[in-house]
Chain A
Amino acid sequence: MMLQRPSQAPGVFGAVGLPPVVWLFALFLAPLAVIWTYSFGENRTLVDIAITGSWGNYARALKPLYLAILLKSMGFAALTTLLCFVLGLPVALAITFASRRAKLLLLVAIMLPFWTNLLIRTYALMAILRTEGLINAGLGALWGLVPGLPPFEPLPLINNNFAVVVGLVYVHLPFMVLPLYAALDRLDRSLIEASLDLGAGHLATLWRVVVPLALPGIVSGIIITFIPALGAYLTPDLLGGTNSQMIANVIERQFRSANDWPFGAALSFLLMYLTFAALMVQAIISRRSASREAAR
């Protein structure tokens, strides 16, 4: 289908173009722009904010206290992404090479938890990890079966860093599997067969042929796991302790209890810049390998 120029159907162009564009600018970009200007502002009175154009908020955001939280958030997100990759790659491989019917079943099975509300999934984990939760209750019961042991000390599985990471992995695993599967599925099977034919074992083939060629998909999966994990709010809120806060929790506090909107705005934008940086890395990698594929 030939694409038209606006001049060829100006009425239609205006009719379909204006509403979404106006909405995007007025109700999406504008609020974001407001936050952006606030990040350069200061609290004057309890309700007034003056835009002073100072970088003070950003400077404060990079002070050790907040920098530590920022780095910890990135650390959590990175660890989560790594764990999701390790857990998810075999799953994606299994789905790719499954029969057509099994493939559909497995894909739906992986996606179903994803379509469940985040709050509910996190709550479900809470019930498992709590001090009186299912794991501890089960362990306690088993412990009690062995005579002569001291009373069972429940494992601290919640309200700490461990719980946050487990929660993040739990919530984001499906995000990783899908792009991995999409990349693996597009791979030319005869390349894998050629590698086997030439004497390589399965692991060597995976490492030397599959991963290099599926790299854009792998990077995609990494990025769309890392970014939401970085900005997670509910999981650290419900599963974390006082020292497992992530950046989203700090931002929330600025806008609610601490009432320091400019600072919160600066933090929000730092998070957004990190997000865009990650996206750019992905775009570069995918463009490089797209040109390689196109020339094939």
Chain B
Amino acid sequence: MKGPLDYLARWPLRLWLAMVGAFLYLPLLALVVFSFNDSKRITVWRGFSLRWYAELFDDGELVAAFGNSLVIAAASTLISLILGTLAALLLWRFRFAGKAPLEALLGLPIVVPEICLGVAFLVFFTAIVPWPTELPWPLNLGAIIIAHATFSFSFVALVVRARLASFDGALAEAARDLGAGEWLIFRDIMVPHMVPGLVAGALLAFTLSLDDFVITFFTSGPDTITFPIKVYSMVRFSVTPAVNAASTLLILLTAGLTALALWLQGADIAKQAA
């Protein structure tokens, strides 16, 4: 029996939800479906085929680009995990002059439009601190790695800080009472508590890096192609279901990683809400 506030049970709202859902999901579903199209066309269905996926794996450039993206993501995740955790610890533990401005500053990378960051890094790495070209792989990806780490470590700090908020300070005091010093307290008491936040933050940073287009577009040189950039040129110039296939794979990867991160944080969010 529905009460007066049981809005979801009313059909106008259900219809609206269905329409919005269709709007959001149909294009994506069409994209995934047509990645199996046995034809060069992406809107006329011919038959089921896996040939585009096979073609992806044959495309050397694409595979290399994917490899680049993975390396960049891994490296930048590591850096932003360290920086973000340190920043979270700083804000969680200390009270100092300039804390509020620092917190605002830490939030800037999240708010500044991507294009502004992109051009800033472009200028920085070509004119000011030129990243040496002709570096062996993977060092030639350094500029992109630095750029990714910079914009993602604020997110990591956010996530880790949320996790730290639920830390019971009495545990650290008990450890100190038993004789442990700073480093041991950190390693044995705090890190285990922070692990879900660290993992969630790492997954978030990894996804952000893997997905990024604009900043990478501006920071990369001609010989450092990443996966989204390669897909972009495919979209622009050679539209075949191969693009659909590449997109489907990327969807699966990022959706899976994010679901994992949310699931890890979910227990935390639920506890905080209680």
Contact = CB atoms under 8 A, between A and B. Distances in A.
Asked if A and B touch directly (CB within 8 angstroms), the answer is yes
Interface of A: 1-6, 9, 11-13, 15-17, 19-21, 23-24, 27-32, 34-35, 38, 49, 87-88, 90-91, 93-99, 102, 106, 108-113, 115-121, 123-128, 130, 132-134, 137, 170, 173-174, 189, 192-193, 196, 202, 227-228, 230-231, 233-234, 238, 248, 251-252, 255, 261, 264-265, 268-269, 271-272, 275, 279
A113 B122 CA distance: 30
Given A4-B94, A4-B95, A121 B122 contact: no
Given A3-B95, A121-B28, A116 B255 contact: yes
Interface in B21-72: 21, 23-28, 30-31, 34, 41-44
Nearest to B169: A1
A111 B123 CA distance: 34
A26 to B, nearest CB: 9
Given A97-B7, A127-B30, A233 B114 contact: yes
A21 B96 CA distance: 14
Contacts of A132: 41, 43
A105 B250 CA distance: 22
Contacts of B86: 15-17, 19-20
Interface in B208-265: 211, 213-214, 218, 228, 231-232, 235-236, 243-244, 247, 250-251, 254-255, 258-259, 262
Contact of B123 (A35, A196, A252): A35
A94 B235 contact: no
Contact of B247 (A113, A124, A233): A124
B108 A28 contact: yes
A93 B13 contact: yes
A120 B247 contact: yes
Given A17-B90, A32-B116, A34-B120, 6 more contacts: A3-B93, A35-B116, A115-B207, A121-B27, A170-B27, A248-B113
Contacts of A227: 111, 113
27 contacts: A5-B94, A6-B94, A9-B182, A13-B96, A19-B83, A20-B83, A20-B157, A27-B124, A31-B128, A35-B123, A99-B8, A111-B262, A119-B213, A120-B251, A123-B243, A123-B247, A124-B27, A127-B27, A127-B34, A132-B41, A196-B4, A227-B111, A238-B236, A248-B113, A255-B122, A272-B113, A275-B113
B27 A128 contact: yes
Interface in B114-173: 114-117, 119-124, 127-128, 146, 149-150, 153, 157, 167, 169
Contact of B119 (A113, A130, A265, A279): A265
Contact of B120 (A31, A96, A99): A31
A93 B10 CA distance: 12
Contacts of A9: 93-94, 182
Contact of A115 (B44, B95, B115, B255): B255
A231 B123 contact: no
Contacts of B174: none
Contact of A272 (B95, B116, B124, B153): B116
Contact of B94 (A13, A95, A265, A269): A13
A134 B213 CA distance: 26
- 7 closest Cβ pairs, A-B complex: A231-B113, A1-B169, A124-B27, A31-B124, A3-B95, A31-B120, A20-B87
**Chain A binding surface SS class:** helix
Interface residues of B, number: 83
Given A31-B120, A87-B20, A192 B83 contact: no
Contacts of B146: 27
A81 B43 CA distance: 30
Nearest to B256: A115
B5 interface: yes
Given A13-B90, A94-B17, A117 B109 contact: no
Given A20-B83, A98-B8, A109-B21, A123 B235 contact: yes
Contacts of A118: 211, 213
A113 B28 contact: yes
Given A116-B28, A261-B123, A230 B34 contact: no
Contacts of A21: 102
Contact of A3 (B94, B109, B255): B94
